[in-house]
Amino acid sequence: MLRRLWPLLPLLLGLLAFTRAWRGDFLLMDDDWLVSENAAVLNPSRQDLKDILNPFLPRERFGHEYLPLRDLSYSLDAAISRATSTPLNRICHLTQTALYGLDCLLAALLLARLTGSVRLALIASSLFALPRRARRPPVDE
């Protein structure tokens, strides 16, 4: 039984690595106009959903890029937030953490298939799951 459960270790490491982000606020870079202040994402009409999927329309309302999965994910997060009265930033962070955990699980399974070694796949995917600290550039004095 434990032989079948080994991919869950990288999944759990990936989930645990970002638990601190669950209560975090949105970043000040682009989250406001992409998510928290974007009416086409917060409360999409049927036409908005069609526009998200249409690659030939102007993309000003959606970050000037065609990323329908991102925009639909944000719309789903907003719907869950409204339905559960949970802050949108918390739902978005939970969604991203769950997707990261799933990435870690899939990396483990792919590595096991490619290398034929569960041990190597477990080590490599666990290292992938653990966050790396960003290096700060040196301060000029």
Render pLDDT for 74-114 as a digit per residue (tens, 0 to 9). Answer: 899 999 999 999 888 888 888 988 999 999 999 999 999 99
Closest C-alpha to 92, from 5, 16, 23 = 23
pTM: 0.76
Taking the C-alpha atoms of residue 67 and residue 60, their distance in angstroms, rounded to an integer, is 12
Q: Are 75 and 52 in contact (CB under 8 A)?
A: yes
In degrees, to the nearest 5, what angle opens at C-alpha 76 toward C-alphas 78 and 130?
95
Residues listed for the chain: 141
Phi and psi, residue 78, nearest 5°? -65, -40
pLDDT in tens, the chain (141 residues): 557 788 888 888 888 888 877 777 766 666 666 777 788 888 888 998 899 899 998 888 887 889 899 889 989 999 999 999 988 888 888 898 899 999 999 999 999 999 999 999 999 998 888 877 655 566 665
